[in-house]
């Protein structure tokens, strides 16, 4: 339990907001914009970040970001050994006490487990948000089954992106009365509805890391089926990853070298410009061979709907919770290449469908400011119980 010093009391009066410590490691991968948005959108709580490694602080500025990198090397070695033996972070409780944190919010299930010791020593509640791999693939390891059992017993609350992920978490043993759906949100001031979309050529866009669960092989195959009918349509692919060589081979096998362009990893603002130009966002997620799933739904889908870009996607994880089929886009079973091609054909011939409805859905359910307010209400409730 923390004891508050005089200097700390002065600090509390200075900020006059309760402090929530966010644990994310590393802080923060270039693609994890959604975590940063959740943190920066808070109004009534002041965030601090705890991490083992800093990354991309120029993209994701928060003050302070407290990192194990700043701990003297001898002490850091001791803490690393403790983490290796116990699987939990040692030393975080010192930062929690120093900054008078009232609550600890871990991003990803593994971070929740690793923060348990700090939660107990600081005597504050722990909220853990799950995002996908931590629900679908990580629990396949016996080590993490045991660790999650402890997390579910000692953690105070667990947040998920949608009901599908919530059911998965409950099936793993999480108490149903401590699972809450908390939608991710996007900043509608930075991602406004496009009003001047007059493309010179139809563009089918994919926007994801090149991993099996993203279903990009099926995206290429579906595009190939409509390529002859739409000779001006181009497939543009934002992202990179371990499957790049296989995807390039698929493009060559289908003789699409002049029709498909891989753009690589792009800064988020540049990616949004590509999205704004797109006729369709194609996002055919699947359950991977190792069990990995989206868990919830990719933020790119929410960004596309906010702009008014129609979507062709799959009936996978919580995607149907985000993309309302035949209202905000068209959804098909996983790996249904013919269905995906049908969806592309429908929207390329009538691209104005679904734009306004998708934007209205995002405003209602995925507005960043509204979701931040809901998250702060969750913080309020947890703190009242302690």
CA 231 to chain centre: 35
Q: Residue 49 and residue 33: Cα distance in Å, rounded?
A: 15
**CB of 43 closer than 8 Å to CB of 372:** yes
Q: Within 13 A of 348's CA, how many CA atoms are on the CB side?
A: 24
Task: Extract the tokens encoding 54.
Answer: 């800093």
Task: Specify the pLDDT at position 10.
Answer: 44
Q: Could you give the residue ranges of the DSSP H alpha helices within the chain?
A: 6-15, 33-40, 73-86, 92-98, 109-114, 116-122, 133-136, 142-154, 163-171, 216-227, 244-253, 268-277, 299-307, 319-322, 337-349, 355-365, 368-385
- The CATH H-level superfamily of 203-365 is Glycogen Phosphorylase B; (3.40.50.2000)
Pairing of strands 46-51, 234-238: unpaired
Q: Residue 56 and residue 30: Cα distance in Å, rounded?
A: 7
Cβ neighbors of 146 (< 8 A, separation 6 or more) are none
pLDDT in tens, 157-195: 999 999 999 999 999 999 999 999 999 999 999 999 998
**Which residue is it, tokens 């889908």?**
301
How many other CB atoms sit within 10 Å of the CB of residue 200?
A: 7
Domains 6-185+367-385 and 203-365 share a fold: yes
Pairing of strands 157-160, 126-129: parallel
Task: Specify the pLDDT at position 196.
Answer: 72
Q: Residue 107 and residue 51: Cα distance in Å, rounded?
A: 11
Task: Specify the pLDDT at position 4.
Answer: 46
Task: Specify the pLDDT at position 353.
Answer: 80
- Domain residue extents for the chain: 6-185+367-385, 203-365
Residue closest to 233 by CA, chosen among 323, 349, 343: 349
Successive 10-residue mean pLDDT values, the chain, 386 residues:
51 73 97 95 98 96 94 60 64 94 98 96 98 91 97 98 96 98 95 80 96 98 98 98 98 98 95 96 95 90 96 97 96 99 95 88 96 98 93
Task: Specify the pLDDT at position 355.
Answer: 87
**Which residue is it, tokens 């000779």?**
231
Three-state secondary-structure class, residue 39: helix
Q: Residue 283 and residue 322: Cα distance in Å, rounded?
A: 13
Is this prediction's pTM over 0.95?
Answer: no
- Indicate the DSSP class of residue 58: T
DSSP-derived secondary structure for 278-315: -SEEEE-----TTS---SS--HHHHHHHHHT--EEEES
- The CATH H-level superfamily of 6-185+367-385 is Glycogen Phosphorylase B; (3.40.50.2000)
Q: For the CA atoms of 332, 359, 355, 132, what is the dihedral angle to 10 degrees? A: -20
Task: Extract the tokens encoding 68.
Answer: 């194990």
Phi then psi dihedrals of residue 154, to 5 deg: -105, -20
**Which residue is it, tokens 């091609």?**
341
**CB of 70 closer than 8 Å to CB of 90:** no
Q: How many residues does the chain have?
A: 386
Cβ neighbors of 153 (< 8 A, separation 6 or more) are none
């Amino acid at each position: 339990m923390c004891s508050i010093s005089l200097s700390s009391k002065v600090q509390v009066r200075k900020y006059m907001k309760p402090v929530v410590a966010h644990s994310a490691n590393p802080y923060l991968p270039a693609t994890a914009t959604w975590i940063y948005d959740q943190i920066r959108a808070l109004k009534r709580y002041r965030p601090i970040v705890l991490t083992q490694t800093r990354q991309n602080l120029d993209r994701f500025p928060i003050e302070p970001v407290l990192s194990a990198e700043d701990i003297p090397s001898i002490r850091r070695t001791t803490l690393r050994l403790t983490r290796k033996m116990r699987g939990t972070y040692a030393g975080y409780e010192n930062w929690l006490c120093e900054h008078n944190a009232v609550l600890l919010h871990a991003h990803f299930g593994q971070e929740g487990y690793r923060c348990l010791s700090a939660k107990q020593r600081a005597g504050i509640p722990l909220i853990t948000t799950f995002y996908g791999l931590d629900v679908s693939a990580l629990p396949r390891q016996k080590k993490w089954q045991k660790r999650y059992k402890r997390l579910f017993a000692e953690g105070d609350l667990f947040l998920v992106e949608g009901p599908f992920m919530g059911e998965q978490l409950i099936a793993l043993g999480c108490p149903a009365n401590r699972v809450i759906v908390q939608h991710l949100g996007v900043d509608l001031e930075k991602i406004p509805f496009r009003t001047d979309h007059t493309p010179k050529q139809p563009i089918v866009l994919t926007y994801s890391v090149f991993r099996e669960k993203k279903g990009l092989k099926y995206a290429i195959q579906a595009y190939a089926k409509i390529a002859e009918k739409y000779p001006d349509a181009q497939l543009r692919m934002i992202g990179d990853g371990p499957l790049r060589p296989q995807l390039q081979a698929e493009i060559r096998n289908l003789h699409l070298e002049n029709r498909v362009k891989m753009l690589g990893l792009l800064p988020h603002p540049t990616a949004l410009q590509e999205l704004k130009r797109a006729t369709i966002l194609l996002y055919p997620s699947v359950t991977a061979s190792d069990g990995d799933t989206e868990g919830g739904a990719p933020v790119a889908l929410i960004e596309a709907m906010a702009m008014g870009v129609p979507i062709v996607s799959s009936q996978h994880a919580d995607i149907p919770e985000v993309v309302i089929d035949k209202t905000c886009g068209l959804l098909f079973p996983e790996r249904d290449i013919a269905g995906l091609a049908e969806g592309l054909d429908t929207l390329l011939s009538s691209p104005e469908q679904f734009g306004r409805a998708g934007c209205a859905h995002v405003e209602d359910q995925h507005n960043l400011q509204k979701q931040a307010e809901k998250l702060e209400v969750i913080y309020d409730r947890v703190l009242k119980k302690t």
